[in-house]
Amino acid sequence: MSESEKLDVMCRGSAELTIVAVHGIQGTRASWQPVADALGDEVRWVLPNLRGRAAAYRGTGSADYTLEKFADDIVAVIAQHVGTPETGKPNYVLAGWSMGVSVALAVYAQLKARGMPVPRGLILMSGSPVLQQTSWFNETAHSALLQEIAAREQRLALIHPADRDAVAWTWQAIRHSDQRTLLPTIDAPALIVHGSADEDSPWSHAQLLAHSLPHGQLRTIDGGAHSILTQNTTRVAEEMRAFLSNF
């Protein structure tokens, strides 16, 4: 079975508008569950587990966990699980939280390069377009990095955390990434939701997204930390609902 054939995707709801939601480096699709519950039947959800998480394809080293590899998988998810209405254009929005922001940006670039329909909008939460300027983890030796991953897992109170080896390989693959030159090429409306006290992706990175995306709009959660999907669920759902009402 090839990498792209071993996707782990859950779909829920039957609304006309679909959200394809990408989780963070240490989570699984369960990270989105509180917001999905809050929005209820207002949207249809396509919730993949990224490779190395749950039943998705499992790699054996950092080369299997690049942003490009993640983006390949999400493009395949979109092709398989996002329908095309009578208008001929897929009616979906692409959302990412934490590392999911970096993956979503890479997905948009791949769709555009392949001539495939891009999402009608982007929802970018608690992320950064320049991971080389974040400090999610500081250790480089694998064993020490695993310990640091375990500590962050507890701090963020993650629901169903990811396999720690997969997280370590992912960080080794993506920690030097810089997507700033990509931002001006993204034409879709983009909602950026970010906590002002985010301890992992500084609020200044949200400002960078808002200023560099041609149609970016920033909504700041005062005092919000990194885990806004679980700690600020009501506010996140309100911002998403207002943004999605435009489609």
Q: Which residue ranges form the domains of the chain, and what is each CATH number?
A: 8-245 (3.40.50.1820)
Residue 172 has pLDDT above 70, yes or no: yes
> pLDDT above 70 covers what percent of the chain?
98
pLDDT of amino acid 1: 47
CB crowding 123-133: b at 16 or more within 10 Å, else e: bbbbbbbbbee
Lookup: tokens for 243: 């943004």
Residue 2 has pLDDT above 60, yes or no: no
Residue 217 has pLDDT above 60, yes or no: yes
Residue 5 has pLDDT above 80, yes or no: no
Spell out the SS3 assignment of 177-228: CCCHHHHHHCCCCEEEEEECCCCCCCHHHHHHHHHHCCCEEEEEECCCCCCH
Average pLDDT, the chain: 94
Average pLDDT over residues 102-107: 98
pLDDT of amino acid 3: 57
Task: Write out pLDDT tens, residues 204-214.
Answer: 999 999 999 99
Report residue 225's pLDDT band, with 50, 70 and 90 as the boundaries: very high
Task: Write out pLDDT tens, residues 44-92.
Answer: 999 999 999 999 999 999 999 999 999 999 999 999 999 877 777 889 9
Average pLDDT over residues 7-35: 95
pTM for the full predicted model: 0.95
Give the HSE-up count for residue 247: Cα atoms under 13 Å, Cβ half-sphere.
Answer: 26
pLDDT of amino acid 45: 97
Least confident of 69-83, 152-166, 190-204, 209-223: 152-166
57 to each of 5, 35, 191, how far by Cα in Å?
8, 26, 30
Average pLDDT over residues 7-29: 95
pLDDT of amino acid 161: 84
Average pLDDT over residues 138-162: 89
Report residue 200's pLDDT band, with 50, 70 and 90 as the boundaries: very high
